Structure 1
Amino acid sequence: MVSLDPVIDKDGVRLTVDEAIATVTLTRPAKRNAQSMALWRALAEAGSALPGSVRVVVLRAEGVSFSAGLDRQAFTPEGLDGEPSFTDLARRPDAELDAAIATFQEAFTWWRRPDVLSIAAVQGHAIGAGFQLALAADLRVAADDVQFAMRETALGLVPDLAGTHPLVGIVGYARALEICVTGRYVHADEAARTGLVNLVVPRAELDAATDDLAAALLAAPRDAVVETKALLQGAAGRSYDEQRAAERSAQARRLRDLAGIGD
C-alpha cells in the first residue's frame, strides 16, 4: 500500500485515503482488535470524514485476527476506562438506553451507504461485534484461516450492531438462527458455500486479493454503480413489479444522463 498520512488515527482506528479508495484499519492487534465504545465512535467518525472522491472503502485489521469482538472488560462492573459499563447502561431510562445503542450502531451502518462500495478483508477470528463489522461491508474477502462466530446469545445478549439483517439476507433465517444461538464457528469453506464471503484466499494473499477487487469495483462509471447498488439493496423489500418499476426509473435516469439530457 502507498504510505499516506492518516485522516484519523485514534482509539484503534486509522483512516487513510488514496484518491478513490479509502482504507479503514483496526489497529489493536495486541488485543486481537477487540472493540470498545471509543473504537465505535472512531469508526463512525471515519464514515463522516470520507471525502467525496472516495468510491471504495476497504476495511482491514492488523495482526492475526480481524476482531475478537467486544473488549471483555466492558462486561465487568467497572467497564472500560471513561465509558459506562453495561450495568450503567441497563439502569438508564428506555429512551436513553435506546439512544446509546443507536449511537453504537452508527459505526456499523455507514458502510452500505449508496455512494460507496465497501469491502472487508477478514482474517483469523471475527467474533461477535467482529462478525457484525464484517457483515456491515457490502463485500467480504476472507483468508482461509477465517473463523466467524456470533457469541452474543451465549452471553445472554443479542446481536445488536446491525448484523442480523445482512446475516439473514445472506444465509436465510434458519441458518442464521442456528449460527447465532449455538455460537459455533463458521469456517472459510462454509462461509464461501453460503455466500457469507465473496472470495476465500490463502492468508498471504488476502491484501492483494482485496486490492484487486477494489480496483475491479472502480472500473464501472460511478453513477451506474450507485444506481445498481440502490436497485439491489432495495430488491428484497419490493415486489417483482415494484422492482421492475425501480429498474425502469433507474435506467431512464442513466439514459438521460448519458445523453446529456437534464431533468
Structure 2
Amino acid sequence: MASIDTVLDKDGVRLTVEDAVATVTLTNPAKRNAQSPALWRALTEAGRALPGSVRVVVLRGEGKSFSAGLDRQAFTPEGFDGEPSFLDLARGSDAELDAVIAEYQEAFTWWRRSDLISIAAVQGHAIGAGFQLALACDLRVVAEDVQFAMRETSLGLVPDLTGTHPLVSLVGYARALEICATGRFVHAEEAERTGLANLVVADGEIDAAVRDLTAALLAAPRDAAIETKALLLGATRRTYDEQRTAERAAQARRLRDLAGLGD
C-alpha cells in the first residue's frame, strides 16, 4: 500500500499526496474553515507544490462545514495579525487594490489546470468564498446537508474570487443572478438538478463516493484525459467550426502517440 506524504501543512491548509492523488484539506473546523489571506496564500502554495505525478486533486474541509466563507475579522479595523485589514486595503490606489485581489484569486485558479482533475467534496456550509472555492474545482460531490450561498452582494460586495464564470456556466445567467443577488441557500436537490453538483450522497458517504469517482477518473490514460479536459474547457470560447478543428488536432496527437509516433 502506498504511503501518504504530507507536503504542506500551514495556515489552515494541509496537502497530502498518495501516488496520483493529492488531497487538500481545510483544517480549521472550529471556525467552520473560514478563509483568510493567509489561507489563500497556503492554497496557492499547495498548487505550486503538487508533484508532477498527481492526476486528481480532492479538496475537502474538516468538520461539519466545507467552508463558511471569509472570516469576518477581515472587515474589522484591526484585521488579521500581520495583515492589512480590508478597510486599509480600500484606502489604497486602484492599482494596489487590483494587485491584492489578483493575488487572492490565485488560490482559486489552479484547480482547473488541464493536467489535473479537481473534485470538491462539500458538506454543510459552503458560503461566499467557500462556495467560490467549490466552484473553482472541476467536479463537486456533495452531501445531502450541503448549503451553498453567495452572500457577497448582500454584504455590499461582489463575488470576486473567480466564482462568477463557473456559476454562470453551470446554471445560466438568470439563475446565477438570482442566487447572487438574493444570497439565498441552494440545497442538495437543487444543486444536483441545476448542475452545481455532479453527485449527491448521504451524509457520511461522501469520502467513499469521492474515492469511487477518483478511481474512475484514473482509469483513463492520462494524456487522453488531459486532451479531453482541454477540449471541453475551450469549447465555450470557440465557434462550432473552431471546436471541430481543435478536436481533429487533439485526435491526431492521440493517434500518433498510440502509434508510437509522438514527439
TM-score bin, normalised by smaller chain: over 0.9
Aligned mates of 1:255, 1:182 — CA distance in 2? 49
Partner of 2:43: 43
Partner of 1:24: 24
Return closer, same or farther for 1:253/1:2 CA change in 2, 3 Å cut-off: closer
* Structure 1 gap segments, 5+ residues each: none
Partner of 1:94: 94
Aligned mates of 2:203, 2:107 — CA distance in 1? 26
Return closer, same or farther for 1:126/1:108 CA change in 2, 3 Å cut-off: same
How many correspondences in the alignment?
A: 263
Within 5 A, what are the aligned runs for 1:216-235? 216-235=216-235
Within 5 A, what are the aligned runs for 1:75-154? 75-154=75-154
Partner of 1:168: 168
Does residue 4 (structure 1) correspond to residue 15 (structure 2)? The answer is no
Q: Calculate the TM-score normalised by the size of structure 2.
A: 0.98
Partner of 1:246: 246
8 Å CA contact 2:12–2:26 kept in 1: the answer is yes
SS of equivalent to 2:119: strand
Aligned mates of 1:246, 1:159 — CA distance in 2? 32
* Structure 2 gap segments, 5+ residues each: none
Aligned mates of 1:212, 1:39 — CA distance in 2? 29
Summarize deviations over 1:85-132 as a string: whole Å, max 9, x none.
111111111111111000000000000001000000000000000000
Return closer, same or farther for 1:239/1:53 CA change in 2, 3 Å cut-off: same
Partner of 1:188: 188
Letter matched to residue 131 of structure 1:
F
Aligned mates of 1:240, 1:10 — CA distance in 2? 45
SS of equivalent to 1:23: strand
The CA RMSD measured in Å over matched residues stands at 1.1
Letter matched to residue 145 of structure 1:
D
Return closer, same or farther for 1:2/1:121 CA change in 2, 3 Å cut-off: farther
Letter matched to residue 212 of structure 1:
D
Summarize deviations over 1:193-243 as a string: whole Å, max 9, x none.
000000000111001001110111000000000000000000000110000
Partner of 1:56: 56
Partner of 1:69: 69
8 Å CA contact 2:5–2:18 kept in 1: the answer is no
Summarize deviations over 1:173-197 as a string: whole Å, max 9, x none.
0000000000000000000000000
Return closer, same or farther for 1:251/1:109 CA change in 2, 3 Å cut-off: same
Letter matched to residue 258 of structure 1:
L
8 Å CA contact 2:3–2:18 kept in 1: the answer is no
Q: Which runs of 4+ in 1 moved over 2 A?
A: 1-5
Q: CA deviation at 1:5?
A: 3.8
8 Å CA contact 2:65–2:123 kept in 1: the answer is yes
Aligned mates of 2:180, 2:172 — CA distance in 1? 12
SS of equivalent to 2:141: strand
SS of equivalent to 2:200: strand
SS of equivalent to 1:148: strand
Aligned mates of 2:227, 2:113 — CA distance in 1? 12
Q: Calculate the TM-score normalised by the size of structure 1.
A: 0.98
SS of equivalent to 1:260: coil
Summarize deviations over 1:1-49 as a string: whole Å, max 9, x none.
9873411001000000001000000000000000000000000000000
8 Å CA contact 2:112–2:118 kept in 1: the answer is yes
